């Protein structure tokens, strides 16, 4: 493929990337601290959690669905993992338990959507409340804190100077990108989101693959829970509130259509970075957190507005 | 042309003259004349695609004619749109009812023009009283306060009629009003129609049930190939003569059919039931194209969807290569070599926003992957081969399918199944909405397939396509196969007569 064709093909992502570069350039002018290595690593570290959740969200949205329960799943698998650690389970086993909890919530979401024929919005809205409630019941509303150093190093460690959460997020992205673009499962996710009936008539087990998309989304939320719990050295039953909105925002800023059938993880990563950079920059500039909310809201709207305006004419 | 023997009387309620309408690649109406008098039930007959619905859409303002004139009671009108047609007193009742199920009959009748007591407050008492009067005037007993979803189909239809008769209705078009009614419900409808004609309403009545022509019609007009063929008083012609007028369409296209020797049995269907299907049984052999013909709603698409697992049948046996299929989903049929080109390629056949390559590879993905990883070179090779074989015009394999022409889109759907190496194809409307050149290419591909020993079941509404491209014709009517004809000797009239339920 020629460079020009590649550019045209990747136009949307290049646009988002240009937005990120522009934003970073602007912030580096406004704040001398922005471009420092320590600050940039800080941005990446802070972005890692939302970015990982947005991976699962991207799969769900590409398949034509939505998952509102990711934030609650973060809390639920977090407290489960924390309790397992405090009960003395070895770290790998405890982490596995946390991941299983997230995947199980996702499985329930998926079954409600495919077998129960509930709209994804409703099924995951219910799960949002159920998972949050389970986290609260399980901990009696109290945080579970204090873990061994081995577990904490999952968030505090560095490999070749790179913070482990950043490395973890990078691994998740590479694996998920390959899954979405190189495997049969990925093909089916796009096809189901694009036209579920045509995909079914082509012999694809639509219900199975859709269910798996929600399982995957539950699992990435649980990965985020591991990173969050290790970083805070505490698992809170009220963690992850509003995370679903950040993940959806990163996904749509990254160019994934809420209608399903198109989108990419590269776009989502850039979308998550835009949100992270924006938050960090506004903090550096001393913008109040109240005002930040407005700015972020405007950015989401403008990104999608520009996208739909570019898509509308001439096609 | 029928002499309009109005001889000094009042002008007809409706006069359409020289109506022409073309769609890209098709001349749908070629100068149609139609005259309907006040107080008559004018039956409009014609085969699928003869132009009846296009003509009525023009009359009701849903479409604009390219040329021609329309007069209402002698006065020329230029119908600007549906609202204008309604203001002129032209009303249409479509085959599918357009009621809000949760609202009462009265609310539906007055939807959009509720009587108010000022400030937008609906005058419920008046609404219900007037709705009751309207329904009573039609001679039907319907409780105006009941939600229409609790009413029977015939009663709902009466609500639709009452709604259509708002204000001064001069011309009422009814499109197959009896298709969902039982015999006693039809009686009620016909009584209502008679009370309307007594009030001087002109009724255009479209029906495929020939027996209704004599029961309810005053005069009958026949359309064929977008032309008006004849208008007669009911009773002047026998039903057989009417069928002859509807059939005998011109053979405008050449069908490149090549016949090959019929091989072993590929597909056997027995006792298929479910929905409207009743005890459907047939077989398809290697090397042959079996056509499923019949009117819209006869159950052809239902058969195609049932045997391919798209809508698994309630009962019946479907065997491929002599082994019975356990049909729960389309993949059960695909695994045994059956491919299905659905009726509507955009909503059922293609993932429009994805690439040509991805669409072509979709049914073959299991074969094109190992441990879940796509073999990308094999995928591209498969797509490139399909594009070359079918001469799909696309700038690249990455092109989104939505950007291709209709003919090329249809070739992609066909290509999906050729690439998947199926030897039994079920094609619902192989050439709907595609240009003539692409049609011929699709036909040629069907020839190549049968020459290689594949079998094809073709559902088609195009009588000429049925006769021109098949080896055997199965005619369906009301969920049953009512005739089997050898395509070589069959005539349009024979097929149509069977489809209309007129025994030879």
Q: What is the DSSP letter of B299?
A: S
- Cα distance from B335 to chain A (closest Cα, Å)? 8
Considering only CB atoms, A203 lies closest to which of B334, B342, B351, namely: B334
Verify whether the Cβ–Cβ distance A184 to B416 is below 8 Å.
Answer: no
Q: Would you call B362 and A9 a contact, using CB atoms and an 8 Å cutoff?
A: no
Residues 6+ apart with CB under 8 A from B490: B467, B473
Residues 6+ positions from A298 with CB-CB distance below 8 Å? none
Using the Cβ of A207 and the Cβ atoms of chain B, whether some distance falls under 8 Å is answered with no
Chain A: residue whose CA lies nearest to B402: A315
* Rounded-to-integer distance, Cα B296 and Cα B277, Å: 14
Give CA–CA dist B288/B161, Å, rounded: 47
A194·B354 Cβ contact <8 A: yes
Which residue does chain B place closest to A200, by CA atoms?
B330
The A residues from 238 to 267 touching B (CB cutoff 8 Å) are 261-262
Pairwise CB contact (< 8 Å): B365 & A201? no
Phi and psi at A234, nearest 5°, equal -165, 145
Which of chain B's residues have a Cβ under 8 Å away from the Cβ of A194?
A: 351-354
Helix (H, G, I), strand (E, B) or coil at B435: coil
Distance set, CA B477 to CA B81, B280, B308, B487 (Å):
35, 11, 21, 18
What separation in angstroms does the CA of B385 have from each of A198, A212, B354, B382, B438?
A: 22, 32, 18, 5, 18
Q: How confident is the prediction along chain B (504 residues), in pLDDT tens digits per residue?
A: 344 444 456 789 999 999 999 887 678 899 999 999 999 999 999 887 788 888 999 999 999 999 999 999 999 999 999 889 988 999 988 877 788 889 999 999 888 778 888 788 888 888 899 888 888 887 777 888 999 888 887 788 888 888 888 777 899 999 888 877 777 778 888 888 988 899 899 999 998 778 888 889 999 999 988 899 999 999 898 888 888 888 877 666 678 888 999 999 999 999 999 889 999 999 999 999 999 999 888 899 999 999 999 999 999 999 999 999 999 999 999 999 999 999 999 999 999 999 999 999 999 999 999 999 999 999 999 999 999 999 999 999 999 999 998 889 999 999 999 999 999 999 999 988 787 788 889 999 999 999 999 999 999 988 889 999 999 999 999 999 999 999 998 998 899 999 988 765
- Determine, for residues B362 and A201 on separate chains, whether the beta-carbon distance falls below 8 Å: no
Structure tokens at A19: 């937005």
CA distances from A239 to A2, A169, A218, A235, A264 (A): 47, 19, 15, 7, 27
Between CA B200 and CA B172 the distance in angstroms is: 11
Cβ–Cβ gap A202/B334 under 8 Å: yes
Alpha carbons within 13 angstroms on the beta-carbon side of residue A275 total 31
Q: What is the ipTM of this complex?
A: 0.89
**Beta-carbon pairs below 8 A across chains A and B:** 80
Strand spans (E) along A186-276: 234-235
B331 vs A182, A194, A205: nearest CB: A205
Report how far residue B116's alpha carbon sits from residue A135's, in angstroms, rounded to the nearest whole number.
Answer: 55
Q: Name chain B contacts of A202, Cβ cutoff 8 Å.
A: 330, 334, 362-363, 416
Point out the residue among A182, A200, A203 whose CB comes nearest to the CB of B373: A182
Residue A50's alpha-carbon distances to A163, A227, A268, B380, in angstroms, are 16, 11, 10, 36
Inter-chain touch A183–B335, beta carbons under 8 Å: no
Distance between CA atoms of residues B330 and B346, nearest Å: 18
Q: Would you say the pTM of this structure is higher than 0.95? A: no
Q: Give the minimum alpha-carbon distance from A118 to chain B in angstroms, rounded to a whole number.
A: 20
CB contact under 8 A, A195 and B374: no
Q: Which of A187, A197, A201 sits opposite B374 (nearest CB)?
A: A187
- Whole-Å CA distances, A274 to A71, A155, A252: 20, 22, 12
């Amino acid at each position: 493929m020629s460079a020009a064709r590649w550019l045209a093909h990747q136009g949307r992502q290049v646009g988002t990337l240009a937005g990120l570069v522009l934003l970073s350039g602007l912030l580096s002018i406004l704040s001398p601290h922005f471009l420092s290595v320590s600050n940039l690593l800080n941005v990446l570290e802070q972005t890692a959690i939302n970015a990982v959740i947005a991976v699962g969200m991207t799969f769900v949205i590409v398949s034509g669905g939505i998952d509102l329960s990711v934030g609650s799943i973060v809390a639920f698998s977090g407290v489960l993992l924390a309790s397992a650690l405090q009960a003395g389970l070895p770290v790998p086993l405890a982490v596995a338990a946390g991941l299983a909890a997230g995947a199980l919530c996702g499985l329930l979401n998926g079954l409600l959507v495919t077998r129960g024929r509930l709209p994804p919005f409703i099924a995951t809205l219910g799960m949002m409340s159920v998972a949050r409630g389970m986290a609260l019941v399980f901990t009696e509303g109290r945080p579970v804190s204090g873990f061994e150093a081995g577990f904490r190093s999952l968030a505090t460690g560095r490999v070749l100077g790179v913070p482990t959460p950043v490395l973890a997020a990078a691994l998740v992205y590479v694996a998920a990108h390959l899954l979405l673009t190189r495997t049969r499962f990925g093909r089916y996710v796009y096809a189901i989101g694009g036209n579920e009936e045509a995909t079914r008539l082509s012999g694809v087990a639509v219900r199975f693959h859709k269910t798996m998309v929600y399982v995957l989304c539950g699992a990435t939320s649980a990965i985020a829970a591991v990173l969050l719990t290790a970083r805070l050295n505490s698992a809170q039953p009220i963690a992850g509130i509003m995370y679903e909105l950040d993940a959806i925002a990163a996904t749509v800023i990254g160019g994934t259509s809420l209608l399903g059938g198109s989108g990419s993880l590269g776009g989502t990563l850039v979308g998550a970075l835009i949100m992270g950079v924006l938050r960090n920059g506004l903090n550096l500039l001393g913008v109040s957190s109240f005002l930040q909310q407005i700015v972020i809201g405007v950015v989401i709207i403008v990104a999608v507005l520009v996208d739909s305006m570019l898509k509308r004419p001439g096609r | 042309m029928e002499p309009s023997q109005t001889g000094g009387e009042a002008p007809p309620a409706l006069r359409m003259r020289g109506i022409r309408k073309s769609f890209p690649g098709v001349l749908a109406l070629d100068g149609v004349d139609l005259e309907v008098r006040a107080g008559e039930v004018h039956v409009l007959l014609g085969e699928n695609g003869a132009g009846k619905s296009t003509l009525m859409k023009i009359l009701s303002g849903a479409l604009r004619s390219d040329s021609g004139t329309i007069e209402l009671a002698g006065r020329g009108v230029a119908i600007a749109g549906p609202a204008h047609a309604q203001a002129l007193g032209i009303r249409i009742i479509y085959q599918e009812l357009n009621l809000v199920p949760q609202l009462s009959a009265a609310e539906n009748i007055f939807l959009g023009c509720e009587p108010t007591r000022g400030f937008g407050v609906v005058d419920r008492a008046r609404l219900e009283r007037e709705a009751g009067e309207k329904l009573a005037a039609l001679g039907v007993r319907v409780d105006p306060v009941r939600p229409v979803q609790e009413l029977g189909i015939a009663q709902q239809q009466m609500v639709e009629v009452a709604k259509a008769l708002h204000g001064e209705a001069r011309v009422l078009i009814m499109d197959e009003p009896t298709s969902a009614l039982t015999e006693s419900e039809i009686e009620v409808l016909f009584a209502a129609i008679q009370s309307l004609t007594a009030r001087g309403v002109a009724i255009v009545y479209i029906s495929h049930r020939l027996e209704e022509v004599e029961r309810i019609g005053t005069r009958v007009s026949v359309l064929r190939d977008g032309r008006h063929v004849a208008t007669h008083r009911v009773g002047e012609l026998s039903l057989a003569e009417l069928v002859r007028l509807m059939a005998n369409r011109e053979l405008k296209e050449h069908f490149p059919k090549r016949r090959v020797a019929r091989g072993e049995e590929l597909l056997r269907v027995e006792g298929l039931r479910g929905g409207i299907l009743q005890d459907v049984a047939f077989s398809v052999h290697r090397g042959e194209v079996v056509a499923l013909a019949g009117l819209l709603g006869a159950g052809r698409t239902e058969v195609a969807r049932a045997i391919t697992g798209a809508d698994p049948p309630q009962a019946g046996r479907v065997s491929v290569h002599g082994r019975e299929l356990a049909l729960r989903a389309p993949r059960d049929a695909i695994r045994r070599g059956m491919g299905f080109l659905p009726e509507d390629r955009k909503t059922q056949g293609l993932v429009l926003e994805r690439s040509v390559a991805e669409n072509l590879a979709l049914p073959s993905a299991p074969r094109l992957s190992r441990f879940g990883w796509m073999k990308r070179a094999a995928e591209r090779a498969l797509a490139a081969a399909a594009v070359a074989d079918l001469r799909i015009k696309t700038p690249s394999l990455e092109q989104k399918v939505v950007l291709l022409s209709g003919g090329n889109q249809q070739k992609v759907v066909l290509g999906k199944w050729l690439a998947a190496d199926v030897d039994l194809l079920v094609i619902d409307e192989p050439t709907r909405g595609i240009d003539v050149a692409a049609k011929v290419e699709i036909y040629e591909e069907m020839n190549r397939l049968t020459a290689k020993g594949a079998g094809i079941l073709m559902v088609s509404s195009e009588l000429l396509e049925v006769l021109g491209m098949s080896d055997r014709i199965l005619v369906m009517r009301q969920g049953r196969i009512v005739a089997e004809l050898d395509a070589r000797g069959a005539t349009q009239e024979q097929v149509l007569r069977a489809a209309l339920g007129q025994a030879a």
